């Protein structure tokens, strides 16, 4: 009894995100570049998008005992550090009850917030934000472009 294969025998399967290394072989990880570290707040691409981290976070301790992010971003320390304070939504439990500290479901920041590297994308991206779509729709409905009714 043989194993079904989607490709001819002898050919190695490649995944573009892994580069030229076949799927069944170990890859050498790429050299880490310099993360974006300019502290510039970026515009969000869609409603409710978690803000990106505009600074390096290498070596930040975030575990059940300590969260380095809260050294600057906690509501009590943000004024002194000039960092953006943690959103009030992070102080709510799953039932919407307000807590005196960051909720455990929002405690591990890098589940949602990510640092950025200035690199070329691995795959093309055709994402268009909703504001651009609405603007295009309005332009298409502009008075000289609207279809006439019979």
Tens digit of each residue's pLDDT (9 = 90 or more) over 88-137: 999 999 999 999 999 999 999 999 999 988 888 888 888 888 888 899 99
* Mean of per-residue pLDDT scores for the chain: 85
Per the confidence metrics, is the pTM higher than 0.85? no
Q: Tally the C-alpha atoms within 13 A of residue 142's C-alpha that lie toward its C-beta.
A: 6
Has residue 77 got a pLDDT over 80?
yes
- Report the C-alpha gap between 136 and 133 in whole angstroms: 5
What 8-state DSSP symbol labels residue 111?
Answer: G
Structural contact between residues 47 and 130, judged by C-beta atoms closer than 8 angstroms: yes
Per-residue pLDDT tens over the stretch 35-66: 889 989 888 888 889 999 999 998 999 999 99
Q: Tally the C-alpha atoms within 13 A of residue 139's C-alpha that lie toward its C-beta.
A: 6
What is the token pair recorded at 82? 């000039």
């Amino acid at each position: 009894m043989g194993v079904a294969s989607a490709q001819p025998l002898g050919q190695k399967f490649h995944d573009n995100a892994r580069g030229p290394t076949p799927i069944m072989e170990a890859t050498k990880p790429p050299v880490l570049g310099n993360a974006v570290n300019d502290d510039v707040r970026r515009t969000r691409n869609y409603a409710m998008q978690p803000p990106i981290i505009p600074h390096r976070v290498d070596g930040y301790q975030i575990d059940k005992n300590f969260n380095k992010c809260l050294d600057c971003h906690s509501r009590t320390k943000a004024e002194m550090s000039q960092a953006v304070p943690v959103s009030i939504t992070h102080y709510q439990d799953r039932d919407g009850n307000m807590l005196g500290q960051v909720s455990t479901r929002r405690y591990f920041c890098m589940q949602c917030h990510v640092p950025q590297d200035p690199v070329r994308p691995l795959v093309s991206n055709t994402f268009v934000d909703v504001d651009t779509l609405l603007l295009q729709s309005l332009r298409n409905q502009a008075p000289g472009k609207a279809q006439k009714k019979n």
